[in-house]
Structure 1
Amino acid sequence: MSFTAEVKNQICGAQWKTCCRKVQLAALIQMCSTMNITSQGMHIRIQSEHANTAKHIWKLLKEFYQVEPQLSVLRKIKLKKNNIYVIRVNSRALEILKDLGIYTEQGLQTHIPARMLRRDCCAQGYLAGAFLAGGSVNAPQTTNYHLEISVGEETLAKFLCRLMNRFYLPAKVIKRRNQHVVYLKASDKIADFLRMCKANDALFEFEDSRIQRDFLNSLTRLDNCELANEMKSLSAARRQLEDIEWILNYRSLDSLSPKLQHVIEVRRAHPEASMNELCERCYEEYGEQISKSGMKHRLAKLREMADQLRAHTDE
């Protein structure tokens, strides 16, 4: 089962208030249905590829409108060849659309009235219904985080975007072929959306995977940082040894000051030592306490002497 299917199953199985269930049904009918008028009257045809979503719609219709929806199952013959669940409502179709705010005297509406979503719980229920209708979310084990809701109308997409922004979910809208897609990319905001939709088990799985990935990424960054520092130290030590060789080719060790002699001796004896380790060796071997900045100063002095000798040789 895909992670998206798990999330939808948990939304359908969650405990929602009556008002929230009603706006969920409104979102599902608005995004998943077509209205047909025949000689027998008006009827609504609702379809979904997710079995529990279809069952959820069927139960909500019976709960609120005491109708007897007809359920049929079709099978795709292309691509994944999965089932399509079709619910047909033949009675009270117009009454249902009017009660849900989808149809008014001005005709079909792109979204339900704002008054139906004044309460935060209803707005969250509507977004959960929209996700059931056209949503998907990447599994947390994948390389990127992405949650989206696809709708046919740009006006509805912008309405969903504003509704998500109301809960500090920075959704954006793009057009993909003939669909308008409302999407979230930030992992913490996707977690907030799952929490809002009461997909608690999916939320725990998502957060657990996210924490593990972030932890492993932090370890990798630390390892890379330590490796880079080590390579940098080795490269600096190699240059310092080259400088020392240049100096000793032209001058005797005794001609240098004792402080420089100490640095040369410990560097030659410990070619892979870090700056801090050189300071410790100076103290252990010569009883001289020297700071890291003092060691850098002496090595810079050796570099300056070596550069002067190189310049003199080039002349």
Structure 2
Amino acid sequence: MSFSGRVREEICSSINDKDKKFACLYGMLLFCRDLTPERICFQTESTNSSENFGRLMKSIFKRELKCQEKMRKNGSIMYTYDINDVVFINNVFSAYHISTGTRTINTDIIATSSLGVFTAGVFLACGSVNDPSKEYHLEFACPEESIAGELMTLLRDIGVTAKIVLRRGQYIVYVKDSESIEDTLTFIGASQCTLEIMNVKIYKDMRNKVNRIANCDNANIDKVVNAAMKQIEDILLIDRTVGLDSLSAELREAAELRLENSGMSLQEIGDNLSVPISRSGVNHRFQKLKKIAEEIRSGGEK
């Protein structure tokens, strides 16, 4: 089952009293495909949304509705409730105070505690959310521009950052921020799916942290190796030209230890000298060796 499917399943399982059923069906009706005095058409590819719509219509209006199923070219099934009984539609419009003009959200007819359930109904009618392991994206494909704006305002009232874009004739209210998606899912009653997103975020953050540490370690290793190779190059030049015996005992010991141990860090070299010294002390000796090598390259020594 897709992540959107799990959200719908969790939502539907929580609609268990009269007020919630009334509010949820209102959201599903207000954002369905067609809503006119002559026709109500609710369409979905979700089995959960389809069954929930039929169940709520029967519970609230005592009307058993027939659902039509049609196989689409992509292999999915389109579930359709097509209502043309104008008397019944008038009863629905009257119960929800739906005008014959434009669709608008009338929060006065919804119990304050059921506003989230109304939004859950909107999600069941036209919402979807991507798998959080791939992308953070939640959207509502709204039938009209005005009601899309009202939905965006509703979401912003609960602190959710939402925007609108026109896509293939539909007004899409979308949310990209992961925290806003979590807030939306919690608001509509899908708290378990919210926890899934949080777990995915924790996993992604840990993976990114491990990668950063690994990249940092690799960079440090590269720096140590490159520095050691340059030190060895300087020491070999000195050995070929003036010989290591020309160096002071301290420099010669450091040079020989480096030639024998190319993978040692400066601290490790310092610890293995006959008289151990600090990392900065070892670095100081190699700087002297570097200066001698540079003088040889410039012709200062023969």
TM-score range, shorter chain: 0.7 to 0.9
Q: Aligned partners of 2:36 and 2:158: how far apart in 1?
A: 36
Q: Find the partner of 2:53 among 50, 57, 65.
A: 57
Q: Which residue of 2 aligns with 1:6?
A: 6
Letter in 2 for 1:103: S
Q: Which of 237, 262, 284 is the matching residue for 1:297? A: 284
Please name the residue that 1:76 is paired with: 71
Look up the match of 1:31. Answer: 31
Q: Give, in angstroms, the shift of residue 69 of structure 1.
A: 4.4
Cα deviation for residue 146 of structure 1 reads 2.1
Q: CA deviation at 1:242?
A: 0.9
Contact 2:43 2:78 in 1 (8 A): no
Mapped to 2, the partners of 1:273 and 1:197 lie a distance apart of 59
Change (3 A) 1:257 1:130: farther
Aligned-residue offset at 1:133: 1.3
- 2-structure distance, mates of 1:126, 1:305: 80
Deviates more, 1:3-12 or 1:220-229: 220-229
User: Are the counterparts in 1 of residues 234 and 293 from structure 2 also a CA contact under 8 Å?
Assistant: yes
Partner of 2:211: 220
Q: Are residues 21 and 279 of structure 1, via their aligned partners in 2, closer, same or farther at CA, if it must alter by over 3 Å?
A: farther
Gaps of 5+ in 1: none
TM-score when normalising by structure 1? 0.81
Q: Is contact 1:58-1:87 (8 Å) kept?
A: no
Alpha-carbon separation, structure 2, partners of 1:80 and 1:140:
24
User: Per the alignment, in what secondary structure is the counterpart of residue 262 of structure 2?
Assistant: coil
| Pairing partner for 1:108 from 102, 113, 118 | 102
Match of 2:257 among 259, 262, 266: 266
Pair 35,193 (structure 1): closer, same or farther in 2 beyond 3 Å: closer
**2:123 equivalent in structure 1:** 131
Shift in alpha-carbon separation, 1:221–1:43, aligned structure 2, 3 A = same
* Deviations, residues 111-169 of structure 1 (Å, cap 9, x unaligned): 313545793x433223222211112222244x323222222323333332232233332
What is the identity, as a one-letter code, of the residue corresponding to 1:236? A
How many angstroms does 1:92 deviate by?
3.9
Equivalent in 179, 194, 204 of residue 203 of structure 1 = 194
CA distance in 1 between counterparts of 2:82 and 2:174 reads 28
Summarize the Cα distance change of 1:112–1:227 in structure 2 as closer, same or farther, 3 Å threshold.
same
- Whether the aligned pair in 1 keeps the contact of 2:3 and 2:131 (CA below 8 Å) is yes
Match of 1:183 in 2: 174
Per the TM alignment, residue 32 of structure 1 is displaced from its structure 2 partner at its CA by 1.1
RMSD, aligned α-carbons: 2.9
Deviations 1:64-121 (A, max 9, x none): 3x341422213134222413231526334234335434427xx223x313545793x4
Q: Distance in 1 between matches of 2:286 and 2:107?
A: 72
| Same amino acid, percent of matched pairs | 29
Q: What SS does the corresponding residue of 2:186 show, helix, strand or coil?
A: helix
The answer to whether residue 293 in structure 2 is matched with residue 306 in structure 1 is yes
For residues 140 and 31 of structure 2, the distance between their equivalents in structure 1, rounded to whole angstroms, comes to 10
Q: 1:35 to 1:191 in 2, by over 3 A?
A: closer
